[in-house]
Every structure is written in structure tokens, then in C-alpha cells.
Amino acid sequence: MLNLKKDQILLSRFSLNEMIGQGGMGQVWLVWDLELEIQIAAKILNPQLMSDPNRVKLLKNECRNTRRLAHPNIVRVFDFHRSEDLAFISMEYVDGQNLNVYRSQWEQISTSQIIKLIKPVINALGYAHEMGLVHRDVKAGNILVDRQQTPRLTDFGIAGAFKSGHHALEITSGGSLFCMSPQQLDNRRPSPSDDIYALGVLLYQMFTGYPPFYPDITRDRIRHEAPDPVNQRLRQLAVDTVVPAAMENGIAGMLAKNPADRPASMREIEAFFDRQLRPGTDQTMAPDSLTAGVRAQQQVSEHTEMIAPVSVIPTKVRKGLPVTLRSNRIKGTVLVVAFVFLLVGGFWLWQYLARQHGRQPAPEAPVSEQSQSESEKTVAPAAVLPKTTPDPTRLAAEKNEADKQLGEFLQLKQELEAKGVSKWGVETYRQMSLLADEADRLLIEKQYATAAAKYAAAVAKGQELVNQLEPVLKRLLAEGQVALEEGNAQLAEEKFTIALMMDPNNRIARDSLQRAKNTDAVMRLLESGNHHEKADNFAAAHTDYQEAVRLDPASKKARQALARVDDTIREQQYQQLMSEGLTALHNKNFQLARTKLRKAQAYRPESREVKDALAQAEQSMRLSRIETYRGQAAASEQSENWQQALNAYQQVLEIDPNVRFAVQGKQRAQKHIRIETRLNYFLQQPAVLESDRQLDNALQLISEIEAMDNKGLALKNRFAKLKRIVDAAQTPIKITLESDTFTEVAVYKVGKLGRFATRELSLRPGSYTVVGTRDGYQDVRKKIVIKPEQGPTRVTIRCEVQI
């Protein structure tokens, strides 16, 4: 799980403000860009997924795809950022909510309101298709509605290229199951028809509250089963409303299984929507709640993605409604009129902002002619239209091109103004602005093709300014250095300030600007340091010179003064440390002596004096440590703690591997440890002596211990105990077997004994199995356990049960 906090800074640039979204891949944060001083959003990948290259590629793919798109209804993506433990993309912040939440807040909504809400998304998808990209995850959750009720398409993470020559990754998998076309389910090459199918799913959900086949959404149903028509689904939900037949048929066409049966393009769907906005086609949808009966049906199958419903309910069962259905319809009509006025006002406001060329990355889209007041629409049959009427398809394409060129211009203008273009590219910048003003006028007059050409010319002028950046920057840096050498701090500061606007990360400009600002302060510090140096107050002189170098690292005078006083201080410290080190060595405080001498060596690494003193201190320390470990080893042997003795001898050998007493002591300790290990084994598990092999091992151990010299008291006591249990294991116990002279008797580990009435055996302690066999009778099997020091034992074995 991500552990991000408010006010945390990422990559020394992005300040986290508030988490505004969270999902399986990570989190989305509202962020303040400290460098550009703008508010943006950041989609941050969960650190646990950083090791998955496919997840990182998915995020990078979203950035690569969306950066190619400049459309007022597509959320802008700025860049991909990565550090050692984080990956994220920065994007435009949309102050609003996703379409699921937005739709659920409407008490009622008409067909025309849904069309007007979705139509900009269709335009954005058509633009993306023209750019060679298929979104492949069109759903309500990926559509944001800002505070001006403008829908914005987002999340191009799994977008795929369908036109050759494009650089987007071709992704054939991924997406939300409920909005995937049959072809997308089969991982076929991305096609605009996939988005057309998903748009049909979105409209179905907007009208009925749920996507097709909900709640039992399966791949097989998507591939082979036709969903219930919209009005039939509304009747199933007991919703008292009807969707216009044309709209119902249009949605069914988008949901066709065969791509050839779907609309040919988003432009065709957009034209269809325009026809649905004609007077008389509107229909108010019911409020967005569910009856208890409907909710009881909402069981999600294991194949179904969790979907936030855009729910609908019959008016007659809605509780707590403050007005009647009729008053609701009146209210809906008022809202439609208010919405139209807002759209028209937003259009003129957008034109004004575009003329002023604000800092927004992309302009709001102008309201299309179909978005004007219903009273202004006059739709005549195609046969009676004047011949001079522009082709709507061509006009829309020209308008889209003008919008695209405007977006590119605004972005370029913003980047140039951030680099202070008005201070170094005056004439070219003026020409660029004049071209843009002319393009604004043409755009307002709906001369889209000419406006696009003017915007393109303005972009070309802007590109000229971009090409001038490097030579102008070099010239400003050179002029600033000359002014600095001549003592003209004011002119130098002016040149370097402009250079920093052009390149905020230019180290030369930044450092030189600071030099110009600090010239007087540096001179005062040099005078003060010189005064302290003459008075042998070298610490104070060092402080002054060091501050002078910090203010002006390029000052040769300051650096020479600092180096001179540093040498003097180092010589004083060296002499002091040598004196303290030799004194400690004389007093046999070897640790302190070594510490002081090593510090002295840092000042004079090649000094023979300090090397000899260090060698003497090191040798004395080694001998002292060896004697300490020798005493520890002797005490451990005395107490028969052979592991501690072994550790002490190993410490000595690490200091000097040739010390004889440590080599011998290590061998002695290892031998005792091996014997104790084997001794413990037999003492803790005496039953193993029933095995002949283990009994031989125990006897061999007894021989080894008897051959040892200087056995300690603890070893002697344990050795005596081992001998007792070995003797017991070797002492046979008398066993009497009774039979009936008819039964054949055998004893495992002893042999076959034949038939008898009684038979005596002497057996070592252990476990034995006695078996009796007789023709015509069931076999008899008995297990006997003989323990050391056990008295005589009788065992009866005879076959008595006839077969």
C-alpha cells in the first residue's frame, strides 16, 4: 500500500496536497507543481507493482498516448516521472467528479440532456480515432465532469494503435469486461468499432441504470447474446418511462455483435445525436434510485466487474419526493433552458479566454451550433437546403483542426512566456501575437480553415523563438560575465536573470547571478578574515573566508585565503594530535594512542613519524589482546566449558594464525567438543544401544575416553554413566517361551526355534517379535520389549484359532 502523505515532496518538485482517487494500480493525488506553480493531478503507481514491467509500461503508455492528443474534452497528460521507488504521470487537474457520481445526483434527466452530456465525449473519441488511437475502456468511470458540466475523457492506459506509422504500443488485452466488444474479448487488433460498442454500453447504462446483461455479465453472453432493448429493460425494472425509438434502435446498432453492423464512425453517431436534438424527440428519464425489489436482483456474479449503477426507478415508488412528476418535468425543462444559456455563455467566455491566450494547457471546446438554444434550431430537410450551405462534415473537420492548432499555439505560448520571451525575442514575439489575434477573430467568425492556418503560422513563429533559445542564452551568459569582470553588478544581474528565465536549471547563470548580488559582502568578509589572520585567530579567519567562498565559489582571492588558513590550522592540529598520541602510548593506553595517531595521519598521510608510532601502538594492542584471550581460554578449560575455550583460541588465531598455544588449544577444544556431543547422544537416547552398530559406536567412544589424559570431573561422571548403560545394554535377560508342540515358533533377530512346549532364551535388552504358525490355524504375532535389569519373563505363543 502506498505510504504517501500531505505536503510530501516528490522528485524535489511535486508537493502532495490531497488524495482524490485510489484503485488497484495506485492513487491519484492533487499536486502543486513547485516549478511551474500550477495545480495538477498525479497518477502514482503502487510501489509493489514497480517490479512488474508490464504495469510500468501501462502507465508509460498512457502518458505516451495522451500527450499526442490536444482536445478540450480529453484530460491533458503532461509527462511520465520515475525515481528509484516511484513511477507516476502528471496530468491536468479536473475539478469535478466521474460520470457515475454526476449522473446519480440528477433527480431526473431527459434524453436531450444525456445526448448533450455524452456528445462532447463522442467528439473527443472521434478526434482520438483520427489520431490513430482507440481508447478501449470507455465507461462512466473514465469520464470526468467538471464544475462547468463539461465532460472530459481520461485514462488512455490501454489505448491501442490501429493506424500504421503511429508509435503507440499496440495493446490487444485489458479493459473492463462489461464494456468490451466481442472482438476486444478475442484480443483482436484495436479498432474504432470497439469504442463504438463501449459507447453503446455507456448509453444503455445511462438510460437504464446498468450495462447490458447486468448482473450476470459473462464473456459468452457478450459474444453471442443480444441484450434486452432499452425500453424492455426499463419495463423489467418497473420504470415508468420510455426512450425514443430512434435512440433505442441507435443503441442497439452500436451493440451489434458484428462490427460491420455498427455505425461506421463517431462522426456518424455525432450526426445521429444532432438529429435526436430536434424538437419533439425529448423524453425525461426517471429519478435515480432503485426500489427494494429491483435492488434484490443485484447479485453480482463471479464474472462481473463491480459497477456503480446509474440507477433508475419508477416514479410511483420513489419516497420522499417533494414535488409531483409534473412539477419534476417542469423543473427539468427549466434546467434544460438554464443549461443551454450556460453553454452559450461558456462559448463566448471560451472565445474571450482564447483571445487572451491564458495559461491553460488546452482551451475549452467551443459549443457547436447544435448546442445553442432550442429556439434557434431550424432543421430543414436535406433536399431543400440552399446549395451554398457548408458541408457539416467538412465544417466540423475544419473546426477540429482549428481547435487543434489553437491548443498547440497556447501550449507553445505558455512555454515561451515561462522563459521570458518578451525580454529577448521582442519582435518575433510581437509578430506571433499579431497572427494569433487574427486567428482568434477568424475563429469567432467561424472561418475555421483560415483560423487554423493563422494559428499554424503563429506556431511557426513560436518555433522560430524556440530555435533562438540556445544562441540567445549563450550570448546573455557571455555578456553577463563581461559585466561581472568589469564590476557592473547591475548589468550582470540583469543578463543572468533573463538567462535563468530561459533555463531555470542553468548552473552558470544561477551561480553568476549570485556572484553579482554578493560582491560587496565578499569583499567585507575578506577584509575581516585578513584582520583575524594577522592576529593569529585562525578559526575566526577560517569562518570569514569560508563564508566568502560560499557566497562566491569562483572568487580566486577568497579560495586562496581559505586554503592558506586551512594549511595553518591543519599543521597546528597535526602537532597537537601527535603529542597526545605519543603520551597515551607511553602510558600503555593503546586504544587512545591509536585513535589520536590515526587522526594525525589524516593530516599527513605520508609522515614516517606517524607511521612508526602507529605500528608500535598496533603491535602493543595485539599482544595485549592475545594475553587477554589466553587467560579466557585457560579459565574455560578449567571449568570444562570447551566451546568458550574454542572461541577464545579462535580470537587469538584471528590476530595471529601462527601462535602455537592457540593452535594446540583449538585442537584440544575441538576434540573435547566432539566427544561431549557423542556422549550426550548416548546418554539422552539410551534406547539406540539396542542397535548392534550403535552399541559398537558406544564401545569405541568408551575406548577413546579411557585413553584421554587429564579428564575433568564433569567428564568423569558422565563417562561412568555411559559405561553403566552400555553394560546394561550388553547384559542378556532370561526369557521363557511356552508353546503347544504344534506351533512353529520364530523370533525375529534370533531365528526359527521350531516346535516345543517350553524354550529358554537369553536376549539383550531391546524389542523382539515372536511369530507362531500352524497349518489350518491363524498366525500369532507378539512383540516383546526387554529392558535392562528386567527379571525373567514368560511369553506364551501358540496358534489356537482355526481357519
d(CA 292, CA 483): 81
The three three-digit cell numbers of residue 300, written as one number: 453480482
Beta-carbon contacts of residue 549 (< 8 Å; ≥ 6 apart): 555, 558, 559, 562
Sign of CA dihedral 209, 215, 221, 222: positive
Beta-carbon contacts of residue 161 (< 8 Å; ≥ 6 apart): 132, 133, 134, 167, 168, 169, 170, 190
Instruction: State the Cα angle at 411 between 57 and 64, rounded to 5°.
Output: 10
If you average pLDDT over residues 258-269, what whole number do you get? 95
Beta-carbon contacts of residue 441 (< 8 Å; ≥ 6 apart): none
Peptide bond into 212 cis (omega under 30): no
If you average pLDDT over residues 660-682, what whole number do you get? 93
Mean confidence (pLDDT) of the chain: 81
Asked if residues 784 and 770 have their Cβ atoms less than 8 Å apart, the reply is yes
Q: Which residue has the higher pLDDT, 642 or 514?
A: 642
Please tell me the predicted confidence (pLDDT) of residue 301: 31
The closest of 714, 715, 685 to 698, measured between CA atoms, is 685
Owner of C-alpha cell 533562438: 468
Q: Which of 221-235, 323-337, 466-480, 740-754 has the lowest mean pLDDT?
A: 323-337
3-state secondary structure at position 172: coil
Please tell me the predicted confidence (pLDDT) of residue 487: 57
Owner of C-alpha cell 581559505: 562
Please tell me the predicted confidence (pLDDT) of residue 159: 62
Beta-carbon contacts of residue 123 (< 8 Å; ≥ 6 apart): 71, 73, 266, 270, 365, 368, 400
d(CA 54, CA 382): 51
The three three-digit cell numbers of residue 237, written as one number: 425494472
Please tell me the predicted confidence (pLDDT) of residue 646: 95
Query: Quick one: pLDDT band at residue 28, thresholds 50, 70, 90?
Result: very high
- Residue % of the chain over a pLDDT of 90: 42
- HSE (CB half, 13 Å, CA atoms) of 263? 23
Give exposure, 14-51, as e/b (b: 16+ Cβ within 10 Å): bebbeebeeeeebbbbbbbeeeeebebbbbbbbeebbe
d(CA 221, CA 234): 20
The three three-digit cell numbers of residue 631, written as one number: 587467560
Instruction: Give yes or no for residue 114 having a pLDDT over 60.
Output: yes
If you average pLDDT over residues 584-598, what whole number do you get? 87
Please tell me the predicted confidence (pLDDT) of residue 280: 54
Query: Quick one: pLDDT band at residue 283, thresholds 50, 70, 90?
Result: low
Please tell me the predicted confidence (pLDDT) of residue 300: 32
Q: Which of 202-216, 511-525, 706-720, 757-771 has the lowest mean pLDDT?
A: 511-525
**Structure confidence by residue, pLDDT tens digits, 122-141:** 999 999 999 888 999 999 99
E strands within 121-206? Answer: 133-134, 143-146, 151-153, 160-161
| DSSP per-residue codes, 492-532 | HHHHHHHHHHH-TT-HHHHHHHHHHHHHHHHHHHHHHHHHH
Most confident range (mean pLDDT) of 255-269, 293-307, 423-437, 572-586 is 255-269
Asked if residues 137 and 198 have their Cβ atoms less than 8 Å apart, the reply is yes
Asked if residues 483 and 492 have their Cβ atoms less than 8 Å apart, the reply is yes
Please tell me the predicted confidence (pLDDT) of residue 216: 92
d(CA 41, CA 31): 5
Please tell me the predicted confidence (pLDDT) of residue 1: 54
Question: Rounded to the nearest 5°, which phi and psi values hold at 144?
Answer: -100, 140
Query: Quick one: pLDDT band at residue 339, thresholds 50, 70, 90?
Result: very low
- HSE (CB half, 13 Å, CA atoms) of 151? 26
d(CA 708, CA 720): 14
If you average pLDDT over residues 550-568, what whole number do you get? 87
Pairing type for strands 14-22 and 733-738 reads unpaired
Q: Which residue has the higher pLDDT, 169 or 800?
A: 800
If you average pLDDT over residues 568-589, what whole number do you get? 88
Please tell me the predicted confidence (pLDDT) of residue 164: 39
Sign of CA dihedral 795, 797, 801, 803: positive
d(CA 339, CA 337): 5
Please tell me the predicted confidence (pLDDT) of residue 426: 87
**Structure confidence by residue, pLDDT tens digits, 614-652:** 888 888 888 888 989 999 999 999 999 999 999 999 999
Asked if residues 618 and 628 have their Cβ atoms less than 8 Å apart, the reply is no
